[in-house]
Chains A and B, each alone.
Chain A
Amino acid sequence: MEFDNVINLVYVIAATLFVFGIKMLGSAETARRGNLISGLGMLIAIAVTLLEKGMEYQWIIAGLVVGSLIGGVAARLVKMTSMPELVALFNGFGGLASLLVAWAEFEKIKGLGWDAYSAVMGAPGYFSSVVIYLAMLIGGITFTGSLYAYGKLSGKVSGQAMVFGGQKAINALAFIAILAIGVAFTWTGDLVMGDTLFLVGIALALLFGVMAVMPIGGGDMPVVISLLNSFSGLAASAAGFVIGNNVLIVAGCLVGASGLILTAIMCKAMNRTIGNVLFSGFGATSQSEGDGDDREPKAISVQDAYYVLEAASSVVFIPGYGMAVAQAQHVVKELGELLEENGADVNFAIHPVAGRMPGHMNVLLAEADVPYDQLVEMDNINPIMPTVDVAVVIGANDVVNPAATDDETSPIYGMPIIEAHNAKTVFILKRGQGKGFSGLVNKLFVLDNSRMIYGDAKATISALVNELKG
């Protein structure tokens, strides 16, 4: 009894460290230390758990070693451009771990019987079965949803939104079935029956995770990843209710809340509701071509673009997912430096949903050593955009489409954009004449002050760098 109190006190310390850690992650100066502090909280939570009575260590040591090796190697080797995939994958592992913890607890109940278990836990059976089912459900959805998101992000499966007839009906039915089985699982006192229901519940939860992510396209991934991040926290929190452990409840809930906020920020940045993102199959159908605007985009050669850039006194780069695909962040930074040496004022304008996860562009540019005070948020760059000589759009599309501000019939109308069209000249680096994620034709491309530079972004920018060095 006494020692349990000590353990719980240490858990309080761990939870406090998590709170401080998250708080410090919110500011660039303290973020790195914040992460260390939260890691310290994790370390002491693990250490004190190991002191619990009746522990046998051989499997624990094996598990910790194997997990640390895999996690450590993955964290070291991953390329910064692959960061969204890795975050999705880790997220899924966390979800599956929570599912397994709930499942192991149910095995314990099967061994002890409900009466003995309830006596040990000091909680009524129906409570335990509800939270076990919930932890399993949220963990399972997080696991397969994240795995599928990982597949979409890494290009192992098509990143397109996949919709088919009756999809919503099937999803709704699956969800009702999951709830019905959950109710039956809670109701039945029979462990054999309960076991069967639980296994069917697991299968359905895993299936549902895939089904839920299926109709969501690549460009909406920042929302999905944030939401799954929130889910992984809630799964851990639910697992905390299962084993009656405060530190799981608190830490899991903090993560759930932070994921939810990120989700809301992402939705706001696209002017869409969470329901619209999750259920509409946005981007699956390509919209009909223009609205009578048959102006053709005008191309410009690298050579001519160089003359314009060379004369510019302020340049803004607007990166998008295309920069990540082309791995162009390092040459972009080089170009930026050369332009600065040439006397130009150089900034990077970052849209909140550019890329495939929240903050994706910031990480890539940081990797290329671009100082973070050169990265300007959307709301701060738009007012000065009319004074900018050249805006260089690198593999971004919907986030610079002026239709969002002035065309009420556009599906993305109302979405806040980076107003590149207000710059004196706009260069658009683009692989080909394809459309953006939304399937829309971008009105920016046909404006009089816009010039397209077709080709691989990295090759184009390298060519510009060579001209400037010339």
Chain B
Amino acid sequence: MDLVLLFFIFVLAAFLGLELIAKVPSQLHTPLMSGSNAISGITIVGALVATGVNLTGTVGMVLGFLALVLATINVVGGYLVTDRMLKMFKKKGK
């Protein structure tokens, strides 16, 4: 694993993120927040590995399992609630 490469990716992603979101109309602020919040549940990938690959001992597995439950709530709830909100946004005359 090349550590410098990881930082490189991080910095590029930061600039990409800033560019992507710089101009969002204020009516979409809430869905953007809850939608990006769901993305931050990506930590679920780490939780899956910690739960499933038994290298961490019992304590590690319990921690992994808790992380998995929480991250799943974050992901599933986040996407569903964002969709529910966006479904309501309508233009005039349907």
Contacts and interface: CB of A to CB of B under 8 A. Distances in A.
Interface of A: 18-19, 21-23, 25-28, 31-32, 34-36, 38-39, 42, 45-46, 49-50, 52, 54-57, 59-60, 62-64, 66-68, 70-72, 74-76, 78, 80, 83, 86-87, 90-91, 93-94, 96-98, 100-101, 103-105, 107-108, 110-112, 121-123, 127, 225-226, 229, 232-233, 235-237, 239-262, 265, 350, 352, 357-360, 362-363, 366-367, 369, 371-375, 377
Interface in B1-41: 1, 3, 6, 9-10, 13-18, 20-41
A115 to B, nearest CB: 15
A258 B46 CA distance: 22
A60 B44 contact: no
A254 B67 contact: no
Majority DSSP secondary structure for residues of B touching A: helix
Contacts of A87: 30, 33-34, 37, 81
25 contacts: A18-B39, A28-B28, A32-B86, A56-B54, A59-B52, A59-B61, A63-B51, A63-B68, A64-B68, A83-B30, A97-B41, A100-B50, A105-B56, A111-B60, A112-B55, A127-B3, A245-B45, A251-B42, A252-B40, A255-B17, A262-B29, A265-B26, A363-B31, A372-B90, A375-B27
A238 to B, nearest CB: 9
Contact of B73 (A93, A104, A253, A256): A93
The size bracket of the interface on B is: 35 or more
Contacts of A377: 25-27
A366 B40 contact: no
A21 B82 CA distance: 12
A75 B52 contact: no
A38 B79 CA distance: 9
Given A91-B37, A94-B40, A76 B51 contact: no
Contacts of A229: 33, 36-37, 40
B49 A52 contact: yes
Given A49-B49, A52-B52, A42 B39 contact: yes
Contacts of A235: 40, 43
